[in-house]
């Protein structure tokens, strides 16, 4: 697994804490993240800087908890864009977030497969 995308040490810790519920946590994160992405896009389309900022902040928090460091970093930039109301920069950043999430999603799916054995 690529540590640039997912911090394996964090995953090990999560597994330790969650025990049997570890795969459920991974699933939950992925489902939840889809919703966050929807919220981000919606805020950008509505040019609602405040909502963009809040959605990015919230997403950033859960990404950091899950060890998705690069994704968390992108969310942080997006949060700052929202804060500074630089909505013209938002579309590009959201695309980056989506691309990164696609990678994270694959990595988590495989982690989930790996854990099953």
Partner 1 sequence: MIERLSILIVEDNAADRMLLSAIVSRQGHRALTASNGLEAVALFDRERPHLVLMDALMPVMDGFEAARRIKQAAGEALVPIIFLTSLTEGEALVRCLEAGGDDFLAKPYNRVILEAKINAMDRLRRLQETVLQQRDLIGQHNEYLLNEQRVAKAVFDKVAHSGCLDAPNIRYVQSPFAVFNGDLLLAAYKPSGGMHVLLGDFTGHGLPAAIGAMPLAEVFYGMTAKGYSLTDVLREVNAKLRHILPRGVFCCATLLNVSFQRQAVEVWNGGLPNGYLLRVNGERVPLVSRHLPLGVLEPAAFNDACEVYPVSLGDRVFLFSDGVLEAGNKQAQLFGEQRLLSVFADNQKPQALFDEIQQALLQFSGDQQDDVSLLEVSLVEDGQVKRPPLTFSDNGHNHLLDWSATFEFRGETLRYFNPLPFLLHLLLEVQGLRPQGAALFTVLAELYSNALEHGVLGLESSLKANAEGFADYYRQRSDRLAHLTDGFVRFHLRLLPEGGGGRLRLRVEDSGAGFDPQLLLPQPDDALRLSGRGLALVRQLSERCQWGDGEPGVCVEFSWKAGA
Query: According to CB under 8 A, which one of 40, 56, 67, 71 is a site residue for partner 1?
Result: 67
Q: Based on CB atoms, which residue is closest to partner 1, 19 or 88?
A: 19
Which of 3/21 has CB closer to partner 1? Answer: 21
- Among 8, 45, 65, 110, the residue binding partner 1 under the rule CB under 8 A is 65
Write out the two tokens for 42: 């919606």
13 binds partner 1 (CB under 8 A): yes
State yes or no: residue 106 binds partner 1 (CB under 8 A). Answer: no
The rounded distance, in Å, linking the Cα atoms of 86 and 52 is 11
**Helix/strand/coil percent split, the chain, to 5:** 85, 0, 15
Site membership for partner 1, residue 66 (CB under 8 A): yes
Nearer to partner 1, 13 or 91 (CB): 13
| Candidate residues 37, 41, 58, 87; the one interacting with partner 1 per rule CB under 8 A | 58
How far is Cα 8 from Cα 4, in angstroms, rounded to an integer? 10
Could you list the beta-strand ranges (E) of the chain.
none
Backbone φ and ψ of 35, nearest 5°: -65, -40
How much is the CA Rg of the chain, to the nearest whole Å? 15
User: Which residues of this protein are in contact with partner 1, per CB under 8 A?
Assistant: 10, 13-14, 17-19, 21, 24-25, 28-29, 31-32, 54, 57-58, 60-62, 64-67
């Amino acid at each position: 697994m690529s540590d640039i995308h997912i911090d394996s040490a964090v995953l090990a810790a999560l597994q330790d804490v969650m025990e049997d519920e570890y795969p459920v946590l991974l699933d939950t994160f992925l489902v939840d993240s889809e919703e966050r992405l929807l919220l981000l896009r919606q805020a950008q389309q509505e040019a609602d800087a405040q909502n963009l900022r809040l959605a990015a902040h919230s997403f950033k928090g859960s990404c950091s908890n899950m060890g998705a460091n690069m994704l968390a970093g992108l969310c942080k930039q997006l949060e700052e864009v929202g804060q500074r109301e630089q909505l013209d920069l938002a579309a590009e950043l959201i695309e980056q977030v989506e691309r990164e999430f696609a990678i994270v999603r694959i990595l988590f799916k495989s982690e989930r497969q790996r854990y099953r054995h």
